[in-house]
Every structure is written in C-alpha cells, then in structure tokens.
Structure 1
C-alpha cells in the first residue's frame, strides 16, 4: 500500500479478524469489517464534498465513533482532522475554525447552535451533522456514508504528513494548534502497547473526551492497532462507568484524578467487580496519594503517567511491575521517547534536584499550526520540547512531577509548588477538591491561597486548615488564606483553571 498512515489501520486490522468487534457505542457493536467500510465510505463522501489533500475537517461533538471514523477517513485522503473541545463557546470555535482553515465542520445536532453560528462567522461553507437530523443548510453524517462508494482508496500518505491538529487547552491567551503527524501518532500509539504490554483482547473504555490525545492516542488507537475493542462512552458518570467495567469486563482505560475520585466516592464502588482491569492510566493532573492508595486497596494498581498534547501524549509511564515500589512517581520515559530534567542553564539536574522536564522523540509534535515563533520557542538543543513542568528524578531515573512552572508560587524568595500543598489538604476529612494558587502580597510578594470544595455536611475554617497543616508542611508553604467553593473551575481534562482562580481572588491580603 502507498498509504502508510493511520487511515489504513481499520483495513489492516480487518485483514486479521474482520468480524471482531472494533467499537461498542450505545450497546451496539461495530466490527472491523464495518469500521473499514464506514471509514472508506466517509472518505469518499468527504471527497465528494470537495475535500482535498491537506484540507482540514473540524469535528465538534461529545464522544462518538465519528472521532475514529473521521480520523481514519481523513487519513485515507491525506487530509487533516481537527477535533474541537465540545465545551467551547461559539467565539472559541470560530477562532479554531479560522485558525485551522477548516473546509468542513462535522458536528453533533446537540451542538448545532454553536456550530451554525461559528461556521457562519468563520466562513465554513459545509457542515455535516452527526448524531441527529441535519438542518436545511447541512448534510447528514449517516446519509452521506450510506450513499458513498466502497472502492478501496490508496493515496500517498507518509509518516511525515499531518494527521490531526489538536488545540491546547488555552489557559492563557489563544489556544495553539498542535500538529501531530501520522508517524507521531503511530509512535504515540506504540508507546503504551510496548510499555504496558497491551494485548489483542483488550476491552478498552473511553470515558475521557476524545478531543484530547489521551483518550484518542493512548487508549483508542493502540487498541485498534492491536485488534481489541474500544467501548466509547458519551461522557463520564461514575455509577455508569462502574457498571460498564463490571458488565463488559473492561481491561484498560484512562482517567484524570477527579474521575477516579468520583468513582471511589460512588456508593457502588465498594461492591463493583473491578477484577478485569489490567491497566488503568491516571494522568493529566497531579495525582493525590489518597487516590492511588484507594485503588490499590481495591486491587487496582493505577499506572501513573505524564505527557502533553504536544507529545502525543505519552512521555513518562509507571509500568505495572513498579506501581507499588515507585508509587507516586510518573515513571520512566516511554520506550520511543527520551525525557530529561534540566536546570535554568539547560544542564541535567542531579537526583533529588528540581528542574524543567523536556521531551524528545518521534511522538513529539511537528509544530504549532501557523505559529513559527511559538514553535521555535518550544524547542531547545536540537529538538528537546520544553514542557513548562517541574520534575525531580530519583537515582533510578524515576521522575516525579512537582508542578507547572507557571503555577509555582515565589514567596519571600522561596519556591512553593502547589501540588505538594494540595495533596496535604486533600488528606483533611471532608475535603473533596483543592486548588492552591498564588495571590499578591505586599510583604512577601506572593502567598498561597487554597480554593477548597467540601463533601456535603462537612465544615472547615481557616484555623482548622492551618492547624491541620502545621507539622505537615513548612510554615512558608501553608496557604495564608482560603476560599470555599461549590465547584473549582476546571477544563475538559480535569485540570484546575488556576488562571481563573487568580483572576477571581487576586486582591492582596495583608499577612
């Protein structure tokens, strides 16, 4: 085949076992033969709508098989998929459509209001409606698939060609489009296959958003590559996920800490049968020790990982063999990836010393879309990607994620890392969520403030918090104030929006 890209994966997998179940969605199975046919038909349909090599197709929807079918179809044509965060507002979607230059917008009927307004504002002429009836100015996803041809498509697509553009969370400024190539996605998918010893009988659960790389490149695509089954959930609901794990005998999944905490807090957690789970990755935010221990007690060894959209996402992983002995670390570099920790001068730190985590490998992004300056600033020393995260390695090479450089609080000349403080606060009975951020202070320049959410009927005063942290943390690390919130602002991956917290509570407090 001339096409060496991701688009050929359904066909290649169907050659092994065409009737094996590739995807389960709303209790309905799609075989590898059917997935291959649907991706081929969709590719023909998109070409009939005018899509050409290199063109971009944006997708705006809750979790749906169209994410995978769209990726494979655009890959067959040498076009580029642009998955968009389903929680974006119309102006945010408009920005991404304009920035990517998308020719076609595929969107769910449920998000039609945002999609229609954004497409009109951005000048996108063609819309395809998935998971619902199309409006008068759009065409239906299932209709165009049913009407399209099934002739095999084999175009020249190499590992160097762009596969998809995924926009970063955009916690500061406009989000940047991360360009991952077909080769980058292939190596990103191979990393968990090798390091986690994934099998052809995996039953992989996707409840995290498919518009992020973890659900797409770390769970779904590796499973397809191995010939396993991907169970796609439209969203996350703790009780529902526990039920699916038990009924479908789920073996592999990914979740952010808040998802895992919600599951463990559910009344069904204690009785749920979790024995089928072989691998469960937890990443995307600092993982409290409480969360790790809760699952260990249930016989589920959480494999902590670390990565970014720009690294596709895998950079570090804690393999199952060392989950208990290295509990709390993010592990070692993935098989096809190199990771180093360096000081401000770019010199590798010694064990126990903190520094910036930098990543190099074939899974790392090619560029930021149309952002030459940002791309140049992101790489140093001939190809090392600057993560902006602080880490520390031990004498065996295991790296612990300390915090984001930009979230570090500098108070009276001392560097304070919020993740350490958050882990301590989460040990307080009744605390279910915590985000520590810096606020201006006349004396110290900056001090910590803790945003906290409590379980029902729980109470907490600042004096209680201060007393609890005394002896657990150095005095300069203890937040000088706190706010009790019903909900801590987070983005779609569960990361706390500390920029919003700083904006909301930035009034200096005298101490």
Structure 2
C-alpha cells in the first residue's frame, strides 16, 4: 500500500479515490450553459493525465506552471496535476492584460500556461513569455482564430486541453513532499510590482474546525476566483479534504447568487465585503429570504449594512480576517461579539497595535496591526525576493500594513490600509456609512467612496468623491442625488463630487481600485460633477478644471 501524505493535496486526492471514488465533490455551474459535476475519481484521473503530459514536456519538481483561468474544472486538473509532480502552480488573476500579465509570467519563470480560449489574446500580447500554452474551449466560447493560433505558435507550442484529457489514464508516481513549495499567488501590487507569495504543502483544512465549523450537511458556494486565496481556504480545501460538496461559479454574480444557492441547496457562501455591498444594492425581491443559506462567511462586511443585510436575507454573518502573505487570523463567530468587528485573533497568535515608531497605542486608538505566532518565528516567503521577505517580518513581527483599533474586550476593528485614511473638517470619515446610503438608492448597482486632496489646500484634508455605477445608464440628476444624501448623511459625510462609471474597478479580492478612480478623477475623465451639478470637463474637452 502506498505511503500517501495528505499534507500534499494531490496525495490527499489519491486517498479519497481509494476511500470514496464516486462521491460527488465539486460542481462548476455555468448558468445558461449548464454545469460540470466532478467525483473524486474523475478529478484524480484527469489531474493524472495533466501530470503525465507535464512530465513528458520536461516539467520537474520545483518548476513553475501558470494557471491563467477563471473558475473551470481545468484549473483543478492543472493545479493537482502539477502538485503530483512536485511542481509549483502559479495562480494568475484572469483579468490581467499587458504588462500586468507579462510581469508575473516573467517573475515566476513559468514553463507552461494553462488557460481558456477567451484569454489567449491576452497571452499573445504578454511580452517575453515563450513557454508552452494549453487552452480549453468552454461553453459559450469560440475556438481561437487562425491568426491568434499562428501568433501563439511562433512563441511556443500550443495544445488543446481536450487532447490531454483524451489520453489513456495512467497513474503517475507522486513526487511532492510535505512542506515543499506548492503554489505561488501574487499580491495586488498596490505599492509597486506584485510579489509572489510562496505557499508550501500543508494541511489547511484545520481552519474548518477553527473558523468555519462546516458540518456533513453543508454545501459550500463561492464565486470568488480560484486565483484568490479565499476561494481555496474557505471553499475548495474544506470541500476536498472534508468531503463536503462545493459549487463554484465562473465569476462572482450579485444578480444570480441566491438563485444559484436555491438550485444547488447551498447552505453557506463565501464573499468579501465589497460583494456584500453589491448584493445588498440589488433591488429588493419578495423571495430575498427564500433560500437554504444559513451563514455567509465574509471578510470585510461594512458595519453600516451588516444588520440590515442579515435581516433582509435572513442569514447570519461569520466575519474573519486573514492575509495572503501571512500574519494573524481573526474571527468573529456568528452571534458573538459586536457588529462591525473583524473578530479576535486565534489563540496561537500574539498581536500588537503600534504607531509609526513601533510603540503600542492606547485601547481605542488606531494603529498598525503586527503579529507573531506564539510558538516559533513569523515567516513570509516572497518568491525570489529575500530582502522583501525579511522586511515583512522585521524585528520578529509580521507587519500587516492594516490600520485597526481594539476595544476594551479585545475585539478588533478594521480602519483602513496604511496611508489610505480619509479626513474632512478635522473628522475622520467613514466611507462605509456613505456607501450604505448609496446602496439603498434603487438606481445604484455599485458604489465606492474615496478622497482626493482638498481644494481648500488644508494639510491632510480630503474632499469626498462618490463613484457610482447604476443599473441603467442615465443622465445624472445631480441635484436629486445631493438631496438624497443631504437627507440621510451628516454634513461632514456629504460627497463633494459625484463620479459616474460603468463599473467599479476592483482587485481580485474585490477591493475597489481607488487609485484608478482617482486617476480618472484628477484627469477629469468621464462623467464627474460637483455638488452644484456642474460637470468637470476633461482637459481634452477644453476646460482646465479646479
């Protein structure tokens, strides 16, 4: 009998095949285009075919294999197939284009890219990549054009995923070992080029017992991308390791989320705070509370809509906090602790909240969250970046870059990312309060509130901008919007400017990319109005602006 080590995901999968081969474990739903349902056996055999193909192409232990896919079964086949060989799979945000895609491909030195036909043009334009490309054609997609095929073949071989899956099944000898490199996920790169965070083969399903407390009757759902750590820690890993059925959508959908949960009987779903706001902003329906969902596992629920969300949809929110590149994990269990809190740290972390000089701040005062494990030293591994890895855990403490505060009972509250505070008239502004008011407007689909330097020039002061995406494109009636806000918000929280956009740009973790909105605002691009209803024209339209 094989000596399988479940710390290695692919070896855990082989154990499941010996125990429950025909148990359904993962469903990928495609809306009008149907679904794909996988058993442990199907998952293992298809991943094995990928592993055999990779081995023939010379991929060895430690080599990197890029996964540039949305949520399709092929992501799992490539991920687990790479893991069988001890290769390192590299998760790439499927929205990347141009240099934002070329950089992680170069940085990781990936030999192979697995993708889908609709994303091939992005790979074609990624300067510098000369590896092999494997692509799948999924429901609703067209096969690649002859022009794209020729362009890609000039830079390396091009293989259809179906050719690999049609091969005879032959098990491969598993090469991975516990604590060896397994995967790389890239940070969002808000302060420079993204950094690849290296994760090793370890049991992450212990978080089920510490945080999620899923039971045998649960069915998990997420629309978060599999290129994001949340989709793995909250949904995929618990599903595979604990034999809990899970459902994945190709991408997050606020309009269909309850219908999906009804169809598949999902009892819990995972999302991020920005998603909570998008779901809440949907027009109310008589069946809002008619669904099987009991608990929403969320990270970053806006305090202003927490209780209204629970009441409207008749669910409970389990709030937690964690980061891709390590540090402490916190949890606020259902029904425990104050609404708006990100929870308390798990027992095996020691935390401090410090000022710019590294001094502990008083209870109730904001400061940077730093942490270390109770046993051992904090460690972060940025792929190929030893200096940055050391700096992240300077003086034996993990530096989160998040500004938080702590109350008398030890509950933590997220304030903002370091350097992103918003102040007006000497008062710190709560963007979530403004966003809640906008979410209640029947025309609002998405909202992001951010600050720009005050026109008055006061140091550290900001003017407030409300970036709004509506359900239908209309001519903005700014005076009506000003009136809506005036009747619902304190004076200090009144938006100074309104910015109408088609959609709010976001990171993979669904945090609004305020820097892009701000860049458009400062360049006067798009529909931007002040409180008087006067439009700010772009420079190209002939006006200098403020």
Relative to structure 1, the CA distance from residue 32 to residue 234 in structure 2 (aligned partners, 3 Å threshold; closer, same or farther) is same
Alignment of 1:59-74 (within 5 A): 59-74=67-82
Aligned to 1:142: 162
Task: Kindly name which structure, 1 or 2, has the bigger radius of gyration based on alpha carbons.
Answer: 2
Q: 1:342 Cα deviation (Å)? A: 2.4
Alignment of 1:27-176 (within 5 A): 27-118=35-126, 121-131=127-137, 135=149, 137-147=157-167, 149-159=169-179, 161-176=180-195
Relative to structure 1, the CA distance from residue 417 to residue 272 in structure 2 (aligned partners, 3 Å threshold; closer, same or farther) is closer
Q: Does 1:357 find its partner at 2:369?
A: yes
Q: 1:93 Cα deviation (Å)? A: 1.3
Gaps spanning 5+ residues in structure 1: where?
A: none
Q: 1:182 Cα deviation (Å)? A: 1.8
Relative to structure 1, the CA distance from residue 326 to residue 301 in structure 2 (aligned partners, 3 Å threshold; closer, same or farther) is same
Q: 1:273 Cα deviation (Å)? A: 5.7
CA distance in 2, matches of 1:211, 1:273: 31
Q: Does 1:381 find its partner at 2:389?
A: no
Aligned to 1:306: 321
CA distance in 2, matches of 1:363, 1:210: 29
Q: 1:47 Cα deviation (Å)? A: 1.2
Which residue of 5, 26, 32 corresponds with 1:23?
Answer: 26
Q: Is the 8 A contact 2:269 2:295 kept in 1?
A: yes
Aligned to 2:385: 371
Higher RCO, Cα 8 Å, sep 6+: 1
CA distance in 2, matches of 1:406, 1:443: 18
Alignment of 1:214-293 (within 5 A): 214-266=230-282, 269-272=285-288, 274-283=290-299, 285=300, 287-293=302-308
Q: 1:269 Cα deviation (Å)? A: 4.5
Q: Does 1:488 find its partner at 2:504?
A: yes
Q: Is the 8 A contact 2:50 2:164 kept in 1?
A: yes
TM-score by length of 2: 0.81
Alignment of 1:322-333 (within 5 A): 322=336, 325-333=337-345
Q: Is the 8 A contact 1:242 1:269 kept in 2?
A: no
Q: Is the 8 A contact 2:181 2:200 kept in 1?
A: yes
Which residue of 4, 7, 10 corresponds with 2:10?
Answer: 7
CA distance in 2, matches of 1:157, 1:420: 45
- What's the CA shift string for 1:257-309, capped at 9, x where partnerless? 343344344457531565422331122x5524225422334320122222222
CA RMSD, Structure 1 to Structure 2 (Å): 3.2
Aligned length: 496
Q: Is the 8 A contact 1:181 1:366 kept in 2?
A: no
TM-score by length of 1: 0.86
Relative to structure 1, the CA distance from residue 288 to residue 374 in structure 2 (aligned partners, 3 Å threshold; closer, same or farther) is same
Alignment of 1:424-435 (within 5 A): 425-426=437-438, 429=441, 432-435=446-449
Q: 1:38 Cα deviation (Å)? A: 1.9
Aligned to 2:332: 318
Aligned to 2:534: none
- State the secondary structure of the residue aligned to 1:114: helix
CA distance in 2, matches of 1:288, 1:49: 51
Q: 1:235 Cα deviation (Å)? A: 1.6
Q: 1:254 Cα deviation (Å)? A: 1.1
Gaps spanning 5+ residues in structure 2: where?
A: 30-34, 525-529, 531-544
Which residue of 168, 183, 196 corresponds with 1:177?
Answer: 196
Relative to structure 1, the CA distance from residue 464 to residue 58 in structure 2 (aligned partners, 3 Å threshold; closer, same or farther) is same
- State the secondary structure of the residue aligned to 1:321: coil
Q: Is the 8 A contact 2:255 2:279 kept in 1?
A: yes
Q: 1:364 Cα deviation (Å)? A: 7.5
Q: 1:463 Cα deviation (Å)? A: 5.4
Q: Is the 8 A contact 1:306 1:316 kept in 2?
A: yes
